[in-house]
Amino acid sequence: MMAKTDDTTTTPEYEQFRELFTRRMSIRDLRPDPVPDAYVDRILEAGRWAMSGANSQPWEFIVVRDDAVKRELIEAYVDVNNDFIFWMEQMRLAELRHPAFQVEGDAAEQWERVRTRHTAWGKAPVLIVILGDGRRQWGTVLGAMTFGRHQSHLTDALSNAATLMHLAATSLGLGSQHVTIHVQEPFKRVLGVPDLLMIHHILPIGFSAIDRRPTVRRPLGEIVHYDRYDQDKYMSNRQVLGFLHELRGRTMPAYHTRPAGEA
């Protein structure tokens, strides 16, 4: 039985926290207005207090404000990261491709048209690059020391830090976005990051240039089980594909609404 939300089952602190995590959304259009250094420090402080295996604290952060460095990061993102993702997406059923990479007609021609889309994060006044040092996982249990790109204890810790940083940005009235890096090497060269470290993702922050839009989450009744897994809630492949079709239908307009002035 799900608990009802009333004055006896919540606290003012939870309601304040709930308002924060429901208000947070990925903002892809940020104003160029400067972000105070104190705000950046508070976001970094939130990441510093994240959970990690055996308190190994494997995170490091690069704060990027230099426009020349931002341009180099965008070039790497377009020429390597986006190129890789675009052509991988063309291997999927057209209607299930990521909204940013759904195109019609000749794919090679369309790639030239969409390759620089969704790179507005490079115009954010501040970028925070989240790095991870897997060697710090030596502080946790031996089973976690599968050193490489997929060691879960490392990515868990960096995800924890990122979540707190996104929430901190929201609490300060800032927008943020999660920019995933799939092919790391070009970005490491731009930033001078040692090979043994990994780039988890880039977190652009700034004041939002758009109004908040409603976001959609699956209801608790679909995702919560009690004591044991409820087999009635297990989704077949057909149901999962149906969910993806519905999800794409909801998100496509947000990805393909062109900014004012764009032809």
Architecture of the domain defined by 25-215: 3-Layer(aba) Sandwich (3.40)
DSSP single-letter state for residue 26 = B
Q: Which residue has the higher pLDDT, 171 or 262?
A: 171
For the chain, strand residue ranges (E) read 59-64, 126-133, 175-176, 179-180, 197-206
Q: What SS3 class is residue 66?
A: coil
First to last CA, the chain: 53
- Residue-averaged pLDDT of the chain: 85
Using the predicted structure, report yes or no on whether residue 166 has a pLDDT greater than 80. Answer: yes
Pairing of strands 126-133, 175-176: unpaired
Q: Which amino acid appears at position 223 of this protein?
A: I
CA distance 135 to 52: 13
pLDDT digits (tens, 9 = 90+) for 77-130: 888 888 887 888 888 887 777 777 777 777 766 766 666 666 788 889 999 999
Q: Where are the domains of the chain?
A: 25-215
Structure confidence at residue 111 (pLDDT) = 65
